[in-house]
């Protein structure tokens, strides 16, 4: 087990370096110039711009800039936000809690509602309940996140006036509900479908028949025997989805004006600020790699046949 | 739904077997996976609905003039500023109302189909081609090539899809539909590559590939004649399901202001302009949003039908 984790951690290093290098190149090979974007319409002195660039290390060749960035990253230094002069780590630390709150809220909705509906559909496969769920999930998959966001915002905030159209204070769970539901939508639909297929398939399996035959109560058959076996593909999906949720927050936070990581990325992209964008993306990549490792380790918990030597 | 078809075939099978032993009329021809898939597709109502919708969309893409006359770009702002939809006037220019520039929402929705459908199809073709190529090379040759290609796939897979596309698109100054397509394809091929690699790995072990090798067939011939046709089914499934997602992604990028911009006509652009008047003129946003959703739905249904037709487990 320890050796397996160590090997996986070692394999992550090239993937992490590669992913961040790609984003870094895309960001810094830009024809645009963040320093000039910051100056805006003001008249500027070319020497002054050259000075700022030299201070930020933006005049070095690309590989050298990346090397500096990477070595800084390992010392916990994410670089400096050009517009404000604040360290990127501080900007991230300010925005991250809100996004984590929003993402975890969505994740909880996905897990609870998604698995519950999926099990419901799987146990009643090919009944009207199942068909209604299939149509519902198909609609949910078809509606892009931003469309769902605006439609729900229009109905719940403008027509019914149950909630405020944008999030006023991110401390309030109530105000975060609508954005969390919107963010959860797509993944929720996939979880329902995956759980449904998995449960329906396992319901016909030998081990369930045996469990029923030996007279176990239905609660135990479904709750223990069926669920443990059916949840493996769902757990895989949920693990890879956490990173996607963070990325999806860009759209959701924009619609509902949540001041989180998504907003930070969007603003930085508009200002062509490499350091901030690369910093946040690096963070998401790390998170994605970590969750995929945790998912693999969870397999062993769910399925005792899997052993990591 | 695939299930009714499934039970029907099961009932048919013993009957057909009995008939052939008794009277032995014309023996039923062996059907290939593709003929089987086509039969199961034709009896799937989901496929029929999606096919009708997609044919309609493709006609809209090729001949928008058939559906609406009038220009999507010219508007009379003074006369039609945010006019409410007049749902009684079916298919007339004022049917779905006008936007803030006095342009007919209906005409723009029709003309907007072109970019969305083009983006979806082009990204899918690119992703399927390059993904299959990488996956097939990695799976068939194995060894160091496999390790190298798999690590490269991992690197691209680690970058969040939409976020990566956003970063690439900020980097380009001239944003055409082809740039959007390239950005989505650069990040999208990994999923197909992984599926293709797995599929090729199984096919590689099969007897017919070993036989072809023993008979001295060249590598190229083995790959093209034996491996590819037998390994392609899962790739097609993944690609069709992803198509709808790419259309949604194009709309999302245009909405964020990172895809197409105003002189170009796209549902995403219209949703972006409509969001500022969501409160007093929701129709400007809702109708393009409805079109995106219907289009994505059509392709997702197609993907679902293709999946159940090509997946041997579902028969």
Q: What is the mean pLDDT of chain B?
A: 80
pLDDT the model gives residue B126: 95
Top pLDDT among A292 and A43 is at A292
- Poorest-confidence range of B11-15, B179-183, B221-225, B311-315? B11-15
Average pLDDT over residues B246-257: 87
Any residues with CB less than 8 A from the CB of B117 and at least 6 apart, and which? Answer: B57, B58, B61, B247, B295
ipTM of the predicted structure?
0.80
Do residues B75 and B103 lie in contact, with contact meaning Cβ atoms separated by under 8 Å?
yes
Ranked by mean pLDDT, which of A42-46, A109-113, B68-72, B265-269 comes out on top?
A: A109-113
- Poorest-confidence range of A63-77, B169-183, B227-241? A63-77
A180 touches chain B (CB under 8 A): no
3-state secondary structure of B104: strand
Q: How many CB pairs under 8 A join A and B?
A: 130
On the question of pLDDT at A202 being above 80, the answer is yes
pLDDT the model gives residue B196: 92
Length in residues, chain B: 315
- Poorest-confidence range of A69-73, A133-137, A148-152, B210-214? A69-73
pLDDT the model gives residue B101: 73
Top pLDDT among A108 and B17 is at A108
CB contact under 8 A, B160 and A247: yes
Do residues B16 and B28 lie in contact, with contact meaning Cβ atoms separated by under 8 Å?
yes
pLDDT the model gives residue B310: 79
pLDDT the model gives residue B14: 43
Question: Could you tell me the two tokens for A308?
Answer: 């990591």
Average pLDDT over residues B77-85: 67
Average pLDDT over residues A273-288: 81
Q: Where are the alpha helices (DSSP H) in chain A?
A: 2-28, 34-39, 46-56, 62-74, 88-109, 115-123, 128-142, 145-152, 173-203, 206-213, 218-220, 227-256, 261-270, 274-302
Top pLDDT among B69 and B232 is at B232
- Poorest-confidence range of A185-189, A210-214, B89-93, B171-175? B89-93
pLDDT the model gives residue B125: 94
CB contact under 8 A, B156 and A139: no
Q: How far apart are CA A113 and CA B201, in angstroms?
A: 37
Query: Closest-CA residue in chain B for A13?
Result: B155
Q: How far apart are CA A294 and CA A4, in angstroms?
A: 12
pLDDT the model gives residue A264: 86
Contacting residues of B for A285, CB less than 8 Å apart: 158-159
pLDDT the model gives residue A30: 63
Query: Closest-CA residue in chain A for B295?
Result: A142
On the question of pLDDT at B20 being above 90, the answer is no
Average pLDDT over residues A18-44: 71
- Poorest-confidence range of A155-169, A193-207, B238-252? A155-169
Q: Mark which residues 276-305 of A lie under 8 Å from B by CB.
A: 277, 281, 284-285, 288-289
pLDDT band at A267 (very low <50, low <70, confident <90, very high): confident
CB contact under 8 A, A142 and B300: yes
Share of chain A above pLDDT 70, in %: 89
pTM given for the model: 0.82
Ranked by mean pLDDT, which of A14-28, A88-102, B207-221 comes out on top?
A: B207-221
CB contact under 8 A, B296 and A126: no
Interface of B with A (CB under 8 A): 1, 3, 151-152, 154-156, 158-164, 166-168, 170-171, 173, 244, 248, 251-252, 255-256, 258, 271, 275, 278-279, 282, 285-286, 289, 292-294, 296-297, 300-301, 304
pLDDT band at B18 (very low <50, low <70, confident <90, very high): very low
* CA-angle at B251, arms to B277 and B187, nearest 5°: 145
On the question of pLDDT at B2 being above 50, the answer is no
Average pLDDT over residues A153-164: 78
Q: Mark which residues 113-152 of A lie under 8 Å from B by CB.
A: 126, 131, 134, 138-139, 141-147, 150-151
pLDDT the model gives residue B3: 40
Average pLDDT over residues B255-269: 81
CB contact under 8 A, A142 and B244: yes
Q: What is the mean pLDDT of chain A?
A: 81
Share of chain B above pLDDT 70, in %: 82
A249-265 pLDDT, tens digit per residue, is 888 888 888 888 888 88
CB contact under 8 A, A29 and B156: no
Residue among A194, A299, A202, A285 nearest A244 (CA): A285
On the question of pLDDT at B23 being above 60, the answer is no
Residue among A282, A293, A199, A168 nearest A239 (CA): A293
pLDDT the model gives residue B133: 93
Question: Could you tell me the two tokens for B294?
Answer: 């219907």
pLDDT band at A42 (very low <50, low <70, confident <90, very high): low
Q: Return the half-sphere exposure (C-beta side, CA atoms, 13 A cut-off) of residue A109.
A: 22
pLDDT the model gives residue B28: 59
Query: Closest-CA residue in chain B for A161?
Result: B279
Q: How far is B211 from chain A, CA to nearest CA, in Å?
A: 35
- Poorest-confidence range of B12-16, B106-110, B228-232? B12-16
Closest in A16, A247, A285 to B162, CB measured = A247
């Amino acid at each position: 087990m320890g050796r397996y984790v160590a090997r996986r951690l070692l394999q992550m290093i090239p993937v992490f370096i590669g992913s961040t290098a790609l984003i870094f190149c895309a960001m810094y090979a830009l024809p645009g110039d963040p320093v000039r974007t910051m100056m805006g319409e003001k008249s500027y002195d070319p020497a002054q711009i050259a000075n700022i660039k030299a201070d930020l290390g933006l005049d070095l060749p690309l590989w050298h800039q990346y090397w500096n960035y990477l070595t800084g990253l390992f010392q916990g230094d994410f670089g400096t936000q050009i517009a404000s002069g604040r360290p990127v780590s501080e900007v991230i630390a300010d925005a991250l809690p809100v996004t984590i709150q929003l993402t975890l809220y969505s994740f909880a909705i996905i897990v609870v509602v998604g698995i519950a509906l999926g099990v419901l559909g799987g146990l009643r496969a090919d009944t009207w309940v199942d068909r209604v769920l299939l149509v519902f999930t198909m609609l949910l998959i078809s509606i892009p996140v931003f469309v769902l966001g605006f439609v729900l915002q229009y109905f719940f905030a403008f027509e019914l006036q149950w909630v405020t159209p944008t999030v006023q204070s991110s401390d309030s769970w109530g105000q975060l509900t609508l954005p969390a539901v919107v963010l959860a939508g797509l993944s929720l639909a996939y979880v329902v479908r995956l759980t449904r297929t998995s449960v329906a398939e396992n319901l016909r399996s030998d081990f369930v028949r045996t469990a029923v035959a030996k007279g176990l109560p239905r609660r135990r058959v479904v709750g223990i025997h069926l669920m443990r076996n059916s949840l493996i593909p769902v757990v895989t999906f949920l693990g890879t989805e956490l990173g996607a949720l963070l990325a999806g927050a860009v759209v959701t936070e924009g619609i509902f004006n949540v001041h989180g990581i998504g907003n930070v990325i969007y603003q930085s992209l508009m200002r062509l600020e490499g350091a901030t964008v690369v910093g946040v993306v690096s963070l998401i990549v790390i998170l994605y790699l970590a969750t995929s490792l945790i998912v693999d380790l969870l397999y062993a918990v769910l399925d005792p046949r899997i052993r990591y030597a | 739904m695939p299930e009714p078809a499934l039970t029907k075939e099961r009932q048919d099978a013993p009957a057909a077997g009995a008939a052939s032993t008794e009277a032995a009329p014309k023996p039923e021809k062996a059907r290939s996976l593709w003929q089987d898939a086509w039969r199961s597709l034709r009896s799937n109502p989901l496929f029929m609905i999606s096919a009708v919708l997609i044919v309609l969309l493709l006609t809209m893409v090729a001949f928008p003039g058939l559906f609406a006359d009038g220009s999507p770009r010219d508007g009379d702002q003074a006369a039609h500023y945010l006019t409410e939809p007049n749902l009684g006037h079916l298919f007339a220019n004022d049917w779905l109302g006008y936007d803030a520039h006095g342009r007919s929402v209906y005409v723009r929705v029709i003309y907007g189909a072109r970019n969305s459908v083009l983006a979806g199809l082009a990204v899918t073709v690119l992703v399927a081609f390059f993904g299959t190529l990488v996956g097939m090379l990695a799976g068939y040759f194995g060894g160091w090539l496999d390790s190298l290609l798999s690590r490269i796939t991992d690197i691209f897979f680690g970058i969040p899809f939409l976020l990566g596309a956003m970063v690439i698109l900020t980097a380009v100054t001239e944003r055409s539909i082809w740039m959007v397509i390239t950005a989505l394809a650069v990040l999208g091929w990994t999923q197909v590559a992984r599926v293709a690699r797995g599929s090729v790995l199984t096919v590689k072990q099969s007897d017919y590939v070993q036989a072809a090798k023993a008979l001295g067939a060249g590598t190229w011939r083995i790959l093209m004649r034996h491996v590819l046709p037998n390994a392609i089914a899962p790739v097609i499934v993944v690609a069709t399901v992803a198509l709808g997602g790419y259309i949604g992604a194009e709309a999302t990028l245009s909405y964020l202001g990172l895809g197409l911009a105003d002189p170009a006509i796209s549902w995403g652009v219209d949703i972006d302009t409509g969001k500022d008047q969501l409160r007093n003129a929701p129709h400007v946003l809702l109708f393009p949003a409805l079109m995106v959703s219907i289009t994505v739905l059509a392709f997702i249904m197609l993907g679902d039908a293709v999946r159940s037709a090509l997946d041997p487990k579902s028969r």
